[in-house]
Structure 1
Amino acid sequence: MHTRSHTVLHDPEGLIGAELPLDREPYECLVKAVLAWTGTEALAERDYEQIALQLTGHARAIASDVRRRAARLPTDSGPRALADIVLREAEGRLSVTIEGTVRCVQNRARLVRALYERLLEAARLQAG
């Protein structure tokens, strides 16, 4: 469907995102920087909100990738069970309203880190 300024795509299976590799390095650097904050940072509330939005969008993309990879693991495996737990937790944490605070941004950063851990483990198990 076309609107005046953009095209709206219907992709209920997430196939478009599955074809696009995630650019991990900038987000890994952002997560590392955010988790190093001591709480004395003096950013504006809207800056914290923007960082949280960036991390939220990336967490959703990683979660989708983790879900696809975990689905290929044996249903009775420990790594699959752990991935399922992390994905359920991610859904709950991503449903929380974003706040313009250090705590909110750091929680999103921890979520991205946990999702990357599950993604890397699932990829390692499938390759090996």
Structure 2
Amino acid sequence: MTLTQGEAPGSYSVLHDPDGELVSRIPLDRAPHERLARRVLDWPRPHHGLRPDDYAQIAYRLRAHTRAVLADVRLGLDALPDGDPRRSLTRTALTAAVRALSAPVVGTEDCTRFQAHTLCATYAHLDLLTTEHPAARRTRTTPPE
């Protein structure tokens, strides 16, 4: 991680964090981003209430938060034991999310909805990783029925 002296005494700015040291220490601000995503997904179709720049700004905000959530999903994937059935599903979800985030942001309703959907799906996969899966628990504690 590369730091530089910030403007305030004793403060620093992160310039480069290739290993995700900082990201892994900052808790996600989940509630406001999920609310924003749900609001976007609840818009009536067609939604003509915003200018293209406003749609793009919302899409960029959702996209940036999705990237932060993906960092946690990657950490969760790395922590799963080899035989855990969630590994392949998580790898597939990561691939789909990375592909979705590679699409350019344009100032349209559809693009903004797509970013909202991607964030919600990424949180669903994070939740899957942070709760114990019944099949994983069974393989460690009891033989299958």
Give the number of equivalent residue pairs. Answer: 127
The equivalent residue for 1:7 is: 13
Structure 1 portions without partners, runs of 5+: none
Match of 1:34 among 19, 31, 40: 40
Mapping for residues 35-50 of structure 1, pairs under 5 Å? 35-41=41-47, 42-50=49-57
Matched, 1:72 2:79: yes
Instruction: Give the C-alpha shift of residue 3 in structure 1.
Output: 8.4
Distance 1:67 1:38, change over 3 A: same
Distance 1:96 1:3, change over 3 A: farther
The Cα of 1:9 is off from its aligned counterpart by 2.4
- Matched position secondary structure for 1:97: coil
Q: Summarize deviations over 1:20-53 as a string: whole Å, max 9, x none.
A: 0001100111111000112332200000000000
Match of 2:91 in 1: 84
Contact between 1:39 and 1:102, CA under 8 Å: does it hold in 2?
no
Q: State the distance in 1 between where 2:53 and 2:87 align.
A: 37
Higher helix share: 1
Identity over aligned pairs, percent? 35
Query: 2:15 is paired with a residue of what secondary structure?
Result: coil
Structure number having the greater strand percentage: 2
Structure of larger gyration radius: 2
Structure 1 stretch displaced more, 3-12 or 46-55: 3-12
Q: RMSD of aligned C-alpha atoms?
A: 2.0
Which ranges of structure 2 fall in alignment gaps of 5 or more residues?
Answer: 138-145
Matches within 5 A, 1:46-57: 46-57=53-64
Higher relative contact order (CA 8 A, sep 6+): 1
Alpha carbons 1:98, 1:104 under 8 Å: kept: yes
Letter in 1 for 2:60: L
1:24 maps to which of 16, 19, 30: 30
Q: Which amino acid aligns with 2:118?
A: L
